[in-house]
């Protein structure tokens, strides 16, 4: 009963909805960047070979060129809006665990031939209206990123950034501080070393490493830990190896300059010119072989492995079940179909897997996730987390039984639900093009850089909606065949990850012994030598760049920024924009609403409705239940026209009608479980719908807030799920730290 009460207490508060109206004036300016239209800059454009041009998601122009002189690739996607982003991407392949791709990614930022100072790139980026730089290392590529407001700063920074990529200093002093050294106390240290130390023995790292090593037999780069294994970083990785790795992979033929935003192509060519000349002046680089072209050895038979990871409790574990999937080179569309199929199997609490594994009285798991590694031969997997220790061996048999029942027709595939999911994925693609167009387009392009064979492949990757549209018409048999081909007939890799206190103790002992042995081996003198070496390296690295170097890059004006157009309305009617807007009656309508209301009107095909509830009147002893309440709101029965609609139907209908639904405590998105965002006395419910379903969205919000019915059974299932997720939350260092911090600050 108190849950119902809590609900009424909360709703008495403010509700603020913020839909975005779309004026349907899709004024996309399509610039066709054919270089020969630009006679004034013909001198530069003729140095580049036009490769192909497409519209990403049928809306964003994407054009690709290659330098005839150096082999450097330029891909420009004309994403609308104020920001310009760069993703400077290299295909990187490693056949050991020395972590050369990752250590190199760190060392690049310590200075270049023309700008030999640590951190100078970030300082210059800030002068170009950017917030610093970033990078990531994946198993098959390394990408360096920058995002600026407006194009002027971006173009100023571009040649400086590329100088760091192609001609980094890679000094020994940089290696010592950034990669690995021994401290004066005999401990292991270094930025990369510490980063990998935090990851190497975590539950997910240990389990996924085991899965990939079983999935990809020798010889394959997909087995490698490109971040670096600690033992290798201590004993095997050297600066010389990193330099040789740089020479082999960081060359113009392997570098793709991906730019997303409003930039003129000719200006990009002009900004690249000094770099092109520098590359040519360096002379012959020898032949280049494109990475990731050798075939992957087949997975011959199934593997089942028990992996123990260190933990101070032994409550819940992790199970990964994986198979070889379609090829990212030759079966791009079939790989997308696998994603759709796995989404069907897991997407909501009433889907085939969660309904059996999670949403039951005695659950086998607290959540089921799925994904595919888009390798030349992909690996598709389900991850079951929060699996009670004693049930760790029950996951695979139940999963295989469920998949077999589907493949033989004993359990039906609901074709209406399948169509709803496909439509939803198409909308999600559109939504991503609005919320994160830069990352979305760049992501598709990176896939093409690594595995694309033809221009057609690039078009396929940039327009996944086309295949989704096609899948709407595929019959029941198509999906059965996919299940059979990959999940039933293909060999599988199962990793059962279990937490182990003994393993934690063993690792601790091992570390202690190693440090003790090293202290003895090095002695006072040896440790002193290391201490001096580090101090000297730090001193060398920390030399600040001269002021004139920083000032040589001008700070751009803000005139070159294309801002988003936004109009905001609210009640009461102070602070309204002038009333010459498209909706003269809007203020009158708003003033009649009985609740506080804000409307942000921007160029969008979607409406996001946010209801903000004040929870300050909920007594302290009931507050812990808010998490449970918010969890239940989208997954409980609803009273509609006198009859109770079961929660399974509600979840199905909601999934079909909405693109996104979330509840948070506090007003920030992506809040982790068991914690809250800022303004944490407010709870928020968020629904995102496509424009034609705006009224359905409002209806749903009303039903969820006022018509939800809480059953003891659903409360118990949800509570059990939360309990089973505590174990993995406790193993998350940053989260525990945050909760301890809150505990200290807000203790009564």
Q: What is the pLDDT of residues 470-529, one digit of tens each?
A: 999 999 999 999 999 999 999 999 999 999 999 999 999 999 999 999 999 999 999 999
CB 228 within 8 A of CB 101: no
CB 446 within 8 A of CB 70: no
What are the CA-CA distances from residue 52 to residues 136, 266, 678, 707 (Å)? 27, 16, 47, 54
Distance from C-alpha of 588 to C-alpha of 573, rounded to nearest angstrom: 9
Q: Do the domains 303-500 and 2-24+603-718 match in fold?
A: yes
Task: Give yes or no for residue 550 having a pLDDT over 70.
Answer: yes
What are the CA-CA distances from residue 584 to residues 16, 581, 596 (Å)? 21, 6, 20
Task: Give yes or no for residue 6 having a pLDDT over 60.
Answer: no
pLDDT > 90 fraction of the chain, expressed in percent and rounded: 80
In the structure, what pLDDT confidence band is assigned to residue 534 with cuts at 50, 70 and 90?
very high
pLDDT at site 621: 93
Distance from C-alpha of 51 to C-alpha of 75, rounded to nearest angstrom: 10
The strand pairing partners of 644, in sequence order, are 639
Mean pLDDT confidence for 542-557: 95
Concatenate the DSSP letters of all residues of 589-654 into one string. Answer: HHHT-SS-EEEEEES-SEEEEEEEEE-TTS-GGGGGGHHHHHHHHTTS-EEETTEEEPHHHHHHHH
pLDDT at site 747: 72
Task: Give yes or no for residue 20 having a pLDDT over 90.
Answer: no
CB 152 within 8 A of CB 556: yes
In the structure, what pLDDT confidence band is assigned to residue 26 with cuts at 50, 70 and 90?
very low
Distance from C-alpha of 215 to C-alpha of 338, rounded to nearest angstrom: 18
Domain boundaries, the chain: 2-24+603-718, 303-500
CB 625 within 8 A of CB 707: no
pLDDT at site 670: 64
| Residue pLDDT, tens place only, 93-119 | 999 999 999 999 999 999 999 999 999
Task: Give yes or no for residue 740 having a pLDDT over 90.
Answer: no
> Which residue do the tokens 């068991």 mark?
674
Q: What is the chain's mean pLDDT, rounded?
A: 91
Q: Between 332-346 and 415-435, two packed helices, what is the crossing angle to 10 degrees?
A: 110
Beta strands 303-310 and 492-500, pairing class: parallel
CB 253 within 8 A of CB 288: yes
pLDDT at site 583: 61
CB 339 within 8 A of CB 517: no
Distance from C-alpha of 304 to C-alpha of 396, rounded to nearest angstrom: 10
Distance from C-alpha of 452 to C-alpha of 449, rounded to nearest angstrom: 6
Ordered alpha helix ranges (H), 311-414: 332-346, 352-357, 395-408
Torsion-angle region of 20 (φ positive above 0: left; ψ -120 to 50: alpha; else: beta): beta
CB 142 within 8 A of CB 153: no
Mean pLDDT confidence for 246-257: 98
In the structure, what pLDDT confidence band is assigned to residue 680 with cuts at 50, 70 and 90?
confident
Task: Give yes or no for residue 21 having a pLDDT over 80.
Answer: no
Q: Between 239-249 and 100-107, two packed helices, what is the crossing angle to 10 degrees?
A: 90
Which residues are within 8 A (CB) of 725 and not within 5 positions of it... i.e. 6 or more apart? 316, 366, 367, 385, 386, 673
Task: Give yes or no for residue 748 having a pLDDT over 70.
Answer: no
pLDDT at site 378: 98
Task: Give yes or no for residue 19 having a pLDDT over 50.
Answer: no
Q: For residue 296, which of 215, 207, 209, 208 has the smallest C-alpha distance?
A: 215
Q: Between 332-346 and 455-462, two packed helices, what is the crossing angle to 10 degrees?
A: 20
More confident residue, 66 or 588: 66
Distance from C-alpha of 644 to C-alpha of 642, rounded to nearest angstrom: 7
CB 489 within 8 A of CB 341: no
Task: Give yes or no for residue 41 having a pLDDT over 60.
Answer: no
| Residue pLDDT, tens place only, 599-624 | 898 889 999 999 999 999 999 899 88
> Which residue do the tokens 């519209």 mark?
55
Task: Give yes or no for residue 561 having a pLDDT over 90.
Answer: no
What is the value of pTM for the model shown? 0.88
CB 361 within 8 A of CB 716: yes
pLDDT at site 671: 66
Beta strands 566-571 and 377-388, pairing class: unpaired
Distance from C-alpha of 524 to C-alpha of 361, rounded to nearest angstrom: 61
pLDDT at site 14: 30
With the C-alpha atoms ordered 638, 640, 645, 648, is the resulting torsion angle positive or negative? negative
| Residue pLDDT, tens place only, 665-679 | 888 766 667 778 888
> Which residue do the tokens 């639904």 mark?
661
Mean pLDDT confidence for 132-143: 97
With the C-alpha atoms ordered 83, 88, 93, 99, is the resulting torsion angle positive or negative? negative
More confident residue, 674 or 78: 78
Q: For residue 170, which of 243, 101, 278, 251 has the smallest C-alpha distance?
A: 243
Q: For residue 43, which of 22, 69, 24, 74 has the smallest C-alpha distance?
A: 69
Structure tokens at 499: 């937490």
3-state secondary structure of 684: strand
**Matching CATH number, 2-24+603-718, of 3.40.190.10, 3.40.50.920, 3.30.830.10, 3.10.129.10:** 3.30.830.10
| Residue pLDDT, tens place only, 620-672 | 899 889 989 998 999 999 999 999 999 999 999 999 999 989 999 888 766 66
Distance from C-alpha of 648 to C-alpha of 27, rounded to nearest angstrom: 41
Rg (CA), the chain: 28
Structure tokens at 369: 């996730």
3-state secondary structure of 119: coil
Which residues are within 8 A (CB) of 707 and not within 5 positions of it... i.e. 6 or more apart? 638, 639, 640
Task: Give yes or no for residue 17 having a pLDDT over 90.
Answer: no
Structural class in CATH, domain 303-500: alpha beta
| Residue pLDDT, tens place only, 216-229 | 999 999 999 999 99
Mean pLDDT confidence for 147-163: 97
CB 223 within 8 A of CB 208: no
pLDDT at site 141: 98
Task: Give yes or no for residue 582 having a pLDDT over 60.
Answer: no
Distance from C-alpha of 631 to C-alpha of 483, rounded to nearest angstrom: 31
- DSSP-derived letter for residue 662 is E
């Amino acid at each position: 009963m108190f849950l119902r009460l809590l609900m009424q207490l909360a709703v008495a508060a403010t509700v603020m909805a913020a839909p975005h109206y779309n004026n349907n004036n899709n004024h996309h300016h399509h610039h066709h960047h054919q270089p020969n239209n630009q006679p004034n800059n013909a001198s530069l454009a003729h140095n580049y070979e036009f490769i192909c041009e497409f519209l990403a998601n049928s809306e964003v122009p994407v054009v690709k060129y290659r330098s005839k002189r150096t082999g450097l690739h330029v891909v420009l996607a004309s994403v609308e809006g104020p920001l310009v982003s760069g993703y400077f991407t290299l295909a990187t392949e490693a056949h050991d665990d020395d972590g050369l791709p990752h250590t190199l990614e760190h060392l690049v930022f310590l200075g270049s031939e023309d700008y030999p100072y640590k951190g100078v790139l970030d300082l210059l980026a800030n002068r170009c209206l950017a917030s610093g730089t970033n990078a990531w290392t994946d198993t098959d590529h390394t990408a360096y990123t920058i995002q600026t407001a407006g194009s002027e700063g971006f173009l100023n920074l571009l040649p400086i950034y590329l100088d760091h990529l192609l001609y980094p200093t890679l000094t020994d002093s940089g290696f010592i501080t950034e990669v690995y050294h021994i401290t004066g106390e005999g401990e292991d240290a270094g930025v990369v070393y510490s980063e990998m130390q935090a990851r190497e023995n975590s539950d997910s790292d240990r389990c996924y490493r085991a899965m990939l090593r079983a999935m990809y037999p020798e010889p394959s780069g997909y087995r490698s830990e490109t971040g670096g294994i600690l033992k290798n970083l201590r004993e095997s990785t050297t600066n010389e190896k990193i330099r040789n790795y740089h020479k082999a992979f960081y060359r113009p033929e392997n570098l793709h300059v991906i730019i997303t935003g409003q930039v003129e192509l000719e200006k990009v060519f002009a900004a690249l010119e000094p770099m092109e000349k520098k590359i040519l002046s360096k002379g012959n680089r020898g032949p280049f072989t494109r990475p990731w072209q050798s075939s992957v050895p087949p997975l011959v038979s199934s593997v089942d492995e028990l992996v123990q990871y260190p933990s101070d409790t032994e409550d819940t574990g992790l199970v990964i079940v994986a198979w070889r999937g379609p090829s990212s080179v030759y079966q791009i569309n079939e790989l997308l179909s696998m994603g759709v199929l796995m989404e069907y199997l897991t997407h909501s609490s009433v889907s085939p897997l969660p309904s059996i594994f999670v949403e039951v009285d005695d659950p086998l798991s607290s959540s089921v996730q799925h994904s595919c590694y888009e390798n030349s031969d992909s690996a598709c997997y389900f991850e079951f987390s929060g699996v009670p220790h004693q049930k760790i061996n029950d996951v695979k048999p139940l999963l295989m039984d469920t998949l077999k029942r589907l493949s033989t027709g004993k359990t039906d595939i609901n074709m209406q639900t399948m169509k709803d999911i496909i439509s939803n994925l198409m909308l999600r693609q559109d939504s991503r093009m609005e919320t994160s167009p830069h990352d979305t387009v760049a992501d598709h392009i990176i896939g093409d850089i690594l595995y694309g064979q033809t221009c057609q492949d690039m078009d396929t990757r940039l327009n996944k909606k086309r295949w989704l549209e096609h899948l709407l018409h595929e019959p029941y048999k198509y999906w059965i065949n996919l299940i059979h081909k990959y999940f039933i007939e293909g060999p599988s890799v199962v990793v059962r990850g279990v937490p182990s206190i003994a393993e934690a103790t063993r690792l601790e002992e091992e570390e202690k012994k190693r440090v003790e042995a090293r202290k003895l081996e090095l002695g006072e003198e040896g440790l002193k030598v290391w201490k001096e070496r580090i101090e000297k390296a730090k001193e060398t690295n920390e030399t600040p760049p001269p002021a004139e170097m920083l000032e040589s890059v001008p700070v751009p004006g803000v005139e070159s920024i294309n801002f988003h157009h936004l109009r905001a309305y609210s009640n009461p009617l102070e602070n309204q924009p002038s009333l010459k807007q498209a909706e003269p009656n809007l203020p009158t309508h708003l003033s009649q609403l009985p609740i506080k209301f804000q409307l942000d009107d921007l160029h969008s095909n979607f409406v996001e409705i946010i209801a903000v509830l004040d929870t300050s009147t909920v007594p302290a002893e009931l507050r812990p239940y808010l998490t449970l309440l918010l969890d239940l709101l989208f997954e409980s029965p609803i009273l509609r026209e006198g009859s109770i609609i079961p929660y399974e139907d509600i979840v199905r209908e909601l999934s079909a009608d909405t693109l996104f639904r979330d509840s948070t405590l506090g007003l920030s998105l992506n809040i982790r479980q068991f914690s809250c965002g800022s303004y944490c006395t407010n709870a928020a419910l968020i629904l995102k719908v496509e424009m034609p379903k705006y009224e359905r969205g409002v209806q749903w919000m009303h039903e969820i807030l006022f018509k939800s019915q809480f059953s003891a059974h659903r409360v118990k299932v949800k509570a059990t799920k939360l309990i089973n997720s505590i174990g993995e939350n406790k193993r998350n260092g940053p989260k525990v730290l945050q909760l301890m911090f809150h505990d200290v600050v807000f203790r009564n």
